[in-house]
Amino acid sequence: MLKLREGEYLPDVGIDYPESDPYVGLVHYEKLRDLKFDESYPFLDDSLWFKLHQAGDYFLCFVILRIANAVKFGIRFRGRDVLRRYRREFRKGIVSICNHCYPWDGAAVAQALRHRLWLPMLSEHFNGPEYYHLKYFGGIPLADGSFGAQKKFNEAFDTINERGGWIHVFPEARNWLFYKPIRPFKRGAFTMAYKYGRPIVPLCISYRKRTGIYRLFAPPEVPLLTVTIGEPLFPDLSKPRKQEVDRLLKESHARMCSMAGILENPWPETVNE
């Protein structure tokens, strides 16, 4: 049962959300290509061509989509003082997480953090119409499961970590549009944080009622958005990996529920995979 703090807004956009499987996909991705994410795929592209296109995609993110987020979703950012207070701790890189709840949430996270991001993503996204945007934004598809592909995928993030890159993960895995509860988390983000000794920085997208001039830019049931940056959680590398991964996951989930104004959440922190 969902219970919210007094005054917290709960949008109703007419979607029948699943009640049993938190990882089911609700967004259909049209398949336009048939890429294979095996050991031959360039999980990390260091070519000049890639870097030029990435610069263009970040102009789209930080200028065009920043304006679009402001106009269509009245986006607000809170908690940026965290970036200043932990500037030294974040210098070598972070692993950020956020609830996955609207089409431009990756861009919203980058705008909130004011930083480039690298994101592990479900491979199905890369065979759809947004392939080039996802690739140049910093998306890296999950490997196909073979040993060679998984090794290349891991090496890509090892290199990103060595370079001090910021990694972002949506631990809920799937995008459920304007869903209020925080769904169960997969363990990947927290395993990365422990492996690289990097802080987990939780962000949370919450909702406001659409009012005033914003009613001109979307239907009234589509909410306005607030992105909050929370206090970081630091892995204790002296503790066993599984113990710390579980702690980071549970504390991050509880913290994001609090950031979302949730007093009682209908989902557990994680489910058996």
List pLDDT tens digits, range 210-219.
999 999 999 9
Bin 74: left if φ > 0, else alpha if -120 < ψ < 50, else beta: left
SS3 119: strand
Query: How many Å apart are CA 49 and CA 47, to the nearest integer?
Result: 5
Closest CA to 204 of 129, 255, 148: 255
**Predicted pLDDT at 4:** 98
For residue 84, the SS3 value is: helix
Task: Mark residue 178 as left, alpha or beta (left: phi above 0; alpha: psi -120 to 50; beta: remaining).
Answer: left
pLDDT value at residue 27? 79
* Contact (Cβ atoms closer than 8 angstroms) between residue 270 and residue 187: yes
Beta pairing class for 3-4 and 262-264 = antiparallel
* Tokens matching residue 245: 């991964």
| pLDDT given for residue 273 in this prediction | 58
Which residues are bridge partners to 119 per DSSP? Answer: 139
Tell me what pLDDT residue 31 has. Answer: 84
Output DSSP code: residue 216.
Answer: G
What backbone phi and psi angles, to 5 degrees, belong to 229? Answer: -95, 125
Determine the Cα–Cα distance for residues 78 and 205; give it in Å rounded to an integer: 10
Q: What's the length of the chain?
A: 273
Q: Burial letters for 22-52: b for 16+ Cβ neighbours within 10 Å, e otherwise? A: beeeeeeeeeeeeeebebebebbeeeeeeee
Dump pLDDT digits (tens) for 140-161.
999 988 999 999 999 999 999 9
Residues of the chain with confidence (pLDDT) below 50: none
Question: Which residue, chain included where needed, has tokens 């997480």?
Answer: 97
Residue type, 72: K
